Amino acid sequence: MSGNPDFDIYRLPEDHEAIREAVRAVAEDKIAPYAAAVDEESRYPQEAHDALVASDFFAPHVPEEYGGVGADALATCIVIEEVARVCASSSLIPAVNKLGSMPLLLAASDDVKKRYLTPLAAGESTFSYGLSEREAGSDTAAMKCKAVRDGDDWVLTGQKSWITNAGVSEYYTVLAVTDPDGPRGNNITAFVVEKSDEGFSFGEKERKLGIKGSPTRELHFDRCRIPGDRVVGEVGAGLKIALATLDHTRVTIGAQAVGIAQGALDQAVAYVKERRQFGRSVAEFQGVQFMLADMAMQLEAARQLVYVAAAKSERGDADLPFFGAAAKAYASDVAMQVTTDAVQLLGGAGYTRDFPLERMMRDAKITQIYEGTNQVQRIVMARQLLKG
């Protein structure tokens, strides 16, 4: 039956497997050797940045018409997964490039797309995303950052919090209230802000538990003037664009979580095969085997859910909100469980920085929090179910 073509439909295309092999080679050769130092020194992974640009994995999602390679959503997830397998901080480069530019792909004019996606595809800048605020995290519609029209321009005032790769990126998609008296959720507009814009500055780097190589900072706007031709989509449609963006990009966080979990499982398997106790390999103990089996089973289930969600993202399926939320929530929960179990399997060694497991466990935690906490993901899923 294996020769029946009907059974070939549920398998990754050969070109996607080729992408995996190519990314894995780059990750192991150019990114993994620096992962521990990037974490230890809390520094941006410039080596990974340069390697991703050189190999066209920097912003693979950008369409060919803007100079990109036009990778589909599944291929982009594979890129992020394979980089996260060795360094979660580095995997945020392609992931956040998609997050920051997805609003443009969904809603921007051709001129705005060409102006900003072309340099992104060329690796000239990363692209960050400014949605959350100190008092508007899960409740994004409660944001206070505002933009006031001034002639053909807009004047931006306020702040954004928890912005990934802030200070590194040249470009930022920023959401701001443009009609304070308008209906909640329909009074927000998206803009492209450039790092060089007057009145735009950054807060100090956050001191974080994990993903230490990816700078997280606040964005500050002090009467920052934005030309009117940098509006993304329609005025007032910003929140709808932002939520649609997250439907697509939550899948990439699921892919990041899968990559972290895979890296942890690989490390754990290698260790228990070499480690000996009571005169035999630790891998021979049934209790250890059961742990490994559960880790691998949960990981594979997460991977399949992420890949299905990625396919739905590519097609723009109506049920993407459910599957995007499910993929992100389940994969991140699995990543936290698998990395914790991997540390356990290494025992005392897993708790030291001599092995990458403690870093992977710390990095995994954020996948349960950003781009919507897993509690919010469950609200999204439930609402989709109740809508029928």
Q: How far is CA 344 from CA 255, 271, 301, 338, in A?
A: 24, 11, 22, 10
Report yes or no: 98 and 117 within 8 Å, Cβ to Cβ.
no
Which has the closest alpha carbon to 186: 125, 147, 247, 236? Answer: 236
Query: Catalytic: 371?
Result: yes
Q: Indicate which residue of 81, 82, 218, 371 is catalytic.
A: 371
Residue 249 CA to its chain's centroid (Å): 7
In one letter, which amino acid is 388?
Answer: G
| CB-based burial, 328-342: b 16+ in 10 Å, e otherwise | bbbbbbbbbbbbbbb
Q: What is the CA radius of gyration of the chain?
A: 21
Cβ burial, residue 386 (10 Å; 0-12/13-18/19+): exposed
Query: Nearest 5 degrees, angle CA 361-CA 365-CA 368?
Result: 145
Report yes or no: 190 and 232 within 8 Å, Cβ to Cβ.
yes
In one letter, which amino acid is 1?
Answer: M
Q: How far apart are the first and last CA of the chain?
A: 37
Q: What is the DSSP letter of 28?
A: I
Report yes or no: 95 and 80 within 8 Å, Cβ to Cβ.
yes
Q: In sequence order, which residues have a C-beta less than 8 Å from that of residue 251 and are 6 or more positions away? A: 73, 77, 306, 309, 310, 313, 323, 324, 327, 328
Cβ burial, residue 241 (10 Å; 0-12/13-18/19+): buried
d(CA 337, CA 341): 6
**Residues designated as active site:** 371
